[in-house]
Amino acid sequence: MAGKPKLYYFNGRGRMETIRWLLAAAGIEFEEQFLETRKDLLKLQQDGALLFQQVPMVEIDGMKMVQTRAVLNYISGKHNLYGKDLKERALIDMYVEATMDLNEMIMLHPIQLPETKAKHFATIIEKATTRYIPVYEKALKDHGQDFLVGNRFSRADVQLLETILMAEECKPDILSKFPVLQGFKAKISNIPTIKKFLQPGSQRKPPLDEKLVPKVKSIFYTDNE
């Protein structure tokens, strides 16, 4: 039997967090190797472990997988979280690409320059409440089912919940005008694997503490980047 997947990244959310969410939602235990310094990244690069010299990297089923979306697609396909046919998969892809756009905006907020930070934050809230959240609210309302796609649990539900919780960290009442999503959030949060992941002590990571930004930058950026 293959061992547990092993995740290589720094000890924070970044691009790895959605991978953690999907594994947890699928009930898959995983190990993590945290990069603490640039030397740790260079070592992986020198060992030839990173196809494009970048992390996230996940050792899984005998592969050293890189490229976040490739990893997410693999986990979703393997664990039946990716729809029953190509059309469902296409819809799931559209939903999750949009959650990832919003997720990335929020994720990158701590590293914005001081002079652009307030504007960036206002854009997050504006896009969340006018571009993204209403689409999910309407989709759930129109079909009246518990899950976003195909009346069954998929990565679209997991990734939407992850992103809703991130948006609530920015603005706690962000769902106040979206009653269907409030119900969705409660239901998906109560799925046993997800409930477990949401409990303290799980491998879920907290939002990036601004004090850690220099450390993260020192791992991933050289002085001239």
| 105 vs 181, beta carbon nearer ligand GSH | 105
Question: Are the CB atoms for 49 and 24 separated by under 8 Å?
Answer: no
Give the binding site for ligand GSH (CB under 6 A): 14-15, 53-56, 66-68, 220
Tell me the C-alpha distance between 60 and 43, whole Å.
Answer: 20
Structure tokens, 39: 């030397």
| 70 vs 198, beta carbon nearer ligand GSH | 70
Instruction: Cite the DSSP H helix spans in the chain.
Output: 17-25, 38-46, 68-78, 86-107, 114-127, 133-143, 155-170, 179-189, 192-198, 213-220
| 55 vs 188, beta carbon nearer ligand GSH | 55
Q: How many CA atoms lie within 13 A of 96 on its CB side?
A: 24
| 55 vs 181, beta carbon nearer ligand GSH | 55
Shortest reach from residue 219's CB to ligand GSH, in Å? 8
| 7 vs 175, beta carbon nearer ligand GSH | 7
Shortest reach from residue 222's CB to ligand GSH, in Å? 8
Cβ-count burial of 122 within 10 angstroms (0-12 exposed, 13-18 middle, 19+ buried)? exposed
Shortest reach from residue 147's CB to ligand GSH, in Å? 26
Question: Are the CB atoms for 132 and 102 separated by under 8 Å?
Answer: yes
Q: Tell me which residue has tokens 């990832």.
A: 100
Shortest reach from residue 57's CB to ligand GSH, in Å? 9
Shortest reach from residue 22's CB to ligand GSH, in Å? 14
